[in-house]
Structure 1
Amino acid sequence: MALFALLAALPAFAAAQDKPSNIDEAGKIVSQPARDIGAAKTKIPPVLERAAENPYTLSGLGTCGAMASKLGELDQALGPDFDDGPQKGDSLAKVGGKAVVNSLIPFRGVVREISGAAAADRALAAATDAGIAQRGFLRGVYQTRGCRGR
């Protein structure tokens, strides 16, 4: 019973923090069991799917404006880059919430493999890595070409 009270309190706790990202994180934590059993699918952002196809292409990115636009899309999908300021670690509430929710499914690792959730997470991680590589590559080209205003 206390477990369900904790789960119910996560969104309220996040809302009390007045940060939309906390509300999103609470939703992700609470919906994790649904993703584990395959009831909810992990979606890869289209910009990361395209990056996974060829992270080092300049096709369609001949101008500084086109590169800046692509970098903006990657930033939105990946979150802030290193030079955008210090990144905060996970809060105790987030870590604790994940631990509680992830303990709800016995043999979680086996369930995730059977349901396809683990493969979906691996595909998302690979696409994220490609997006990070593409963002770094494009930032280097952007800077080398003398583009300004990003």
Structure 2
Amino acid sequence: MALSHPVTAQEKSEEPQNETLRKAGDIATQPARDVGAVKREVPSVLLAAAESPYASDDLANCAAIAGNIAALNAVLGDDYDVPRAEDKQDAGKMAEAGGKFVVNTILPFRGLVREVSGAAAADRRLEAAQDAGIARRGFLRGLQVARKCRRTD
């Protein structure tokens, strides 16, 4: 697993822009995913979390725990206790909702098409893996506290 590294001020200012671009790309490719032309892969770290969310075999020290948390943060985004800029987040959510609405009206009978194409099942698998990743991260945070590890993120 990747070890976490200190985030520079420049990287912090680029994170919201990168997230905005990622969301825009997700919205734009939604119709292709709905008909099964484009598939999203479940990241391997989430597959491992889904397989065994409470495994502690590879958690011999604090660095290993931090590395596992960093790998999960890379695919799940920031944990719940990381401060967020609320004003920009609210405006971004409104823009995202508007974009999704426009794109989702392109495909008639979208729900039925998603079920037939397998896109809905694929999304359910991804969401289940994300839930397992969140559970794994919570387990790792608890282990960090129990072992009195210094939090690095």
TM range, smaller chain: 0.7 to 0.9
Tell me, in whole angstroms, the C-alpha distance in 1 between the residues paired with 2:117 and 2:138.
Answer: 34
Give TM-score scaled by structure 1 length.
Answer: 0.84
Cα displacement string for residues 17-63 of structure 1 (whole angstroms, at most 9, x for unaligned residues): x8122111111101000000000002111100100001011011111
Unaligned 5+ runs, structure 1: 1-17
Could you tell me which residue of structure 1 aligns to residue 133 of structure 2? 131
Unaligned 5+ runs, structure 2: 1-15
Could you tell me which residue of structure 2 aligns to residue 23 of structure 1? 21
Tell me, in whole angstroms, the C-alpha distance in 1 between the residues paired with 2:133 and 2:124.
Answer: 14
Cα displacement string for residues 52-106 of structure 1 (whole angstroms, at most 9, x for unaligned residues): 0010110111111111000000111110111111363443221111001011111
Could you tell me which residue of structure 1 aligns to residue 51 of structure 2? 53
1:38 to 33, 36, 39: 36
Tell me, in whole angstroms, the C-alpha distance in 1 between the residues paired with 2:97 and 2:54.
Answer: 35
1:107 aligns with 2:125: no
Asked whether the equivalents of residues 42 and 117 of structure 1 are also in contact (C-alpha less than 8 Å), the reply is: no
Tell me, in whole angstroms, the C-alpha distance in 1 between the residues paired with 2:151 and 2:98.
Answer: 41
Give TM-score scaled by structure 2 length.
Answer: 0.83
Give 1 or 2 for the bigger CA radius of gyration. Answer: 1
Q: Please give the secondary structure, in 2, of the residue aligned with 1:32.
A: helix
Could you tell me which residue of structure 1 aligns to residue 71 of structure 2? 73
Q: Percent identity?
A: 50
